[in-house]
Amino acid sequence: MIKPDNRAANRTLPPPTAQLRNRFTLVFLALASFLMLVLCYIMARSFLAAILFAVVMAVAFYPVHARIWTRIRGPNKAAFVSTLVVLTVVVLPVVALAHVVTGEIRDAYTFLAVRSSESGGLIPWVTTELQKPLEAIGRHVDLNALNLRGELQARLEEWSASIVRSAADIARHLGSFLLNAAISFFALFFLFREGRRVRLTMAALLPLDTGRVDRLFTSIGDTIIANVYGVLAVAVAQAALTGAALAALGVGSPVLLGVLTAGCSLVPVFGASLVWLPASIVLVASGHWVKGLILLIWGAAVVSTSDHIIRTYIVGGRVKMNTFFVFLSLLGGIEAFGILGIFIGPLILSVTAALLGMLHEEMRDWQKQEPPESPAADTGLAG
């Protein structure tokens, strides 16, 4: 009787000591890599916001970079041109607006200085301006117990001190801001140049099949692009609508208030109403009832409504998430990451939803692979 030759099969299996050594090697490399990643985070956490901003810009402008790549051969040249495009798109409008806003701030400061000097100070002038609307309200409501004059004086003093502190903080952190800006654009150049290689490396490290990796990266890209384009479109539209209305009604500093509206449009729930609502109240309180009511109706019916219309049009079918969870992700993102949380919060929510969907699919596949129970077990004949 001829015995089967198992030497070939045995040669394919590593010895037990080699298997054990491979496991120890894998555990050592995993722990060492985790430790090094923690140390890298400690070194980079001061610049984390700048790096995250570069990542968001790289993903948002990747379609532009892809077109530049087809026309300019060479990774360095294409990345350099793409970075210049982003720099131009971001910096030039900011510089132009800063020039106009600086002029309007100077004019507003001159106006307030002249009026306050005529009235003996800023607080007496504001109190005098509010005297007529307060008298009108006082005919119907007893304002003596409220001590509005004292409250107004206290609030004005707090606001003045806050403005002074903010100006000092801006001057003190100017160098840090410039350093973070330089890091952001240097990282942006690297991401444009090495973006494909970084994606392939991350895909190779993830223990997922190709289809799920593509789904995960597509979800991340769609979320960032939708939020960046949606936020920018809403900010520009609401700033333009509010500034145009203020200019048409003859309100001073319409560009400054328009830029302020663009910033307030990032605030969840309240948004642009933080500008047009107080402006309408001031107009009504100063005796311009018609202008105040026009601005109030315009703000509520047009400016605030444009948020939903533009976001729906821009975002479209890219991101399909529950509105309530998106709202929570915005608030939580801002709380955790500052202004960048507007983009990072929905991104975390989108990735979480994608991973939970993959986990559900994996669990369902495992259930399908479970062996069926034997007939003996079903009939009670086993054992």
pLDDT tens digits for 164-222?
666 666 666 667 777 888 888 888 998 888 888 887 887 787 777 788 888 888 888 88
| pLDDT, position 174 | 67
**pLDDT the model gives residue 377:** 47
Tokens of 160: 């003045």
The token pair that represents 307 in the structure block: 């948020």
pLDDT at 379: 47
Helices (H), 269-322: 273-285, 289-298, 304-315
Q: What is the pLDDT of residue 298?
A: 92
Residues 6 or more apart whose CB falls under 8 angstroms from that of 262 comprise 235, 236, 238, 239
Considering the entire predicted model, what is its pTM? Answer: 0.63
- C-alpha span between 141 and 143 (Å, rounded): 6
Which segments in the chain show pLDDT lower than 50?
1, 8-9, 376-383
Of 239, 302, 300, 245, nearest to 266 (Cα)?
Answer: 239
